[in-house]
Amino acid sequence: MYLRLLLALLACVLPASLARAERFTPAPVIFDTDIGTDIDDAYALVQLMQSPELKLLGVTTVSGDAVARARLAAKLLAIPADKFASVPVYAGISTAPQQMVQCDWAKGFTSPALHERGGVEFMRAKINAHPGEITLIAVGELTNVAALLDADPAIAKKIKAIALMGGAVRRGYDPGKPPEAEWNIRSNTKAAQTVFRSGVPLIVCPLDSTTTLKLAPEYRVRIFSHSSPLNDALAALDFIWLHTNHWKGTGPTLFDALPIALVARPNFVPLTPLHLDVDDTGMTLEVAGKEPNAQVALESDVPAFMEYFTGQLVR
C-alpha cells in the first residue's frame, strides 16, 4: 500500500519537476565586448556571470587592442575559479589604439582559457556546432559580428539572435536631444550595416533605453560592500575608470547591462518591433513600411532595473 502511494506521489511530482528544469535550462550565449575602455562592460560581464538563466560559452573581444581586452576579461572570469576560469576568451579584431587603462589591471595575466587570436573563428565553430541555439550578445562595435557574417553568409540562419547595445532611435545621449550617431554604430558603420541587414533576429538596446541606467552611489555601495572577490575586482576597475576616463564620468552608465537582462528575462522591458537600418554616417534609422528586423527597447524602468541589476551582483 505504501509503495503504491509513493509511486503515485512521484508520478505527480516528477513531471512538474522536469517541466521546471526544462523551463530554466540556461540559454547559451557568446559575449562580444570592448571591455577595458568604459566601465559598463566589466559590470556587464560580472552581471552575465551572476545570471543563472544564461550559459556563457565564451567571450570575444573587439576594437583597440583586442588582446589586452581579452586578458582583462579572462582575469575577471578566473576569479570565481570553480565556475568560469575555463570559459574560453578569444581576442577578435583589433583596430586603432584607444585609451584602455583598465587593462593594466590584468597585465601579465595568463590562462589556458585565454587565446590571443581567433575570436571570429570561435564564434563560427560554436554556432555551426549548435545551430539555432546561440544568442550573440554584442556590446561593442560590430566588427567581429560582421566579419563572422561576411566569412560565412549561411551562418546568419544558424544564429538564434543578436542582442546588442547600439544606436539611437528617438533620442540622443542627453535628455531632450535628437538622435545622434551612437559610438558602437559609428565606430564601424559598415559592420553595423552588415548586421542590421543580415536577417538575423535582433534585440536592440539603443540610447533611448540605456542612457538613463546610471548606477547611483547607493547601488555601488551595496555592490561593493557585498565584498565578494568578484565584486572587489569590480571595485578596483571602477576606481581605475573613475580617475582615468577622458570624458570625466563620475558614475557608470550601464549601457551594456540591458541586452544581457533581456536575454536572461525576455519580458524585462517592453520591446517594439521596428525595421532599423544604419546610414553611412552611423545614424540608426526607423524605416517605415518594411517588415520589422528588430525588437527594440525604447524605454526602461530605471528603479526596477537597478534593483534587478544590484540583486544579481550581490547574489
The CATH T-level fold of domain 26-313 is Inosine-uridine Nucleoside N-ribohydrolase; Chain A (3.90.245)
Domains of the chain by residue range: 26-313
* Confidence band for 20, pLDDT divided at 50, 70 and 90: very low
Retrieve residue 305's grid coordinates.
532595473
Q: Is residue 256 predicted with pLDDT exceeding 90?
A: yes
Question: CB of 76 within 8 A of CB of 89?
Answer: no
Nearest to 118 by CA among 46, 60, 160: 60
Mean pLDDT, the chain, as a whole number?
A: 93
CA distance 228 to 65: 29
- Which amino acid does the sequence have at 233? A
Question: Looking at beta carbons, which pairs linking 124-132 to residues 24 or more positions away fall under 8 Å?
Answer: 124/148, 124/151, 124/152, 124/155, 126/30, 126/57, 126/58, 127/155, 127/158, 127/159, 128/155, 128/158, 130/28, 131/157, 131/158, 132/158, 132/160
Spatial neighbors of 268 by CB under 8 A, at least 6 apart, are 261, 262, 305, 308
pTM over 0.85: yes
* C-beta neighbour count of 298 within 10 angstroms: 17
Retrieve residue 292's grid coordinates.
520589422
CA distance 215 to 71: 25
Q: Is residue 23 predicted with pLDDT exceeding 90?
A: no
CA distance 130 to 273: 27
38, 43, 83, 114 from 77: Cα distances, Å: 18, 12, 8, 10
Helices 302-313 and 257-264, axial angle in degrees (round to 10): 80
89, 92, 105, 166 from 120: Cα distances, Å: 11, 6, 25, 20
CA distance 217 to 214: 9
Q: Is residue 222 predicted with pLDDT exceeding 60?
A: yes
pLDDT of residue 4: 55
Retrieve residue 276's grid coordinates.
532599423
pLDDT of residue 315: 86
Question: CB of 273 within 8 A of CB of 294?
Answer: yes
Share of the chain above pLDDT 70, in %: 93
CA distance 177 to 179: 7
End-to-end CA distance of the chain: 44
pLDDT digits (tens, 9 = 90+) for 150-176: 999 999 999 999 999 999 999 999 999
Q: What is the mean pLDDT of residues 15-39?
A: 78
Q: What is the mean pLDDT of residues 35-50?
A: 98
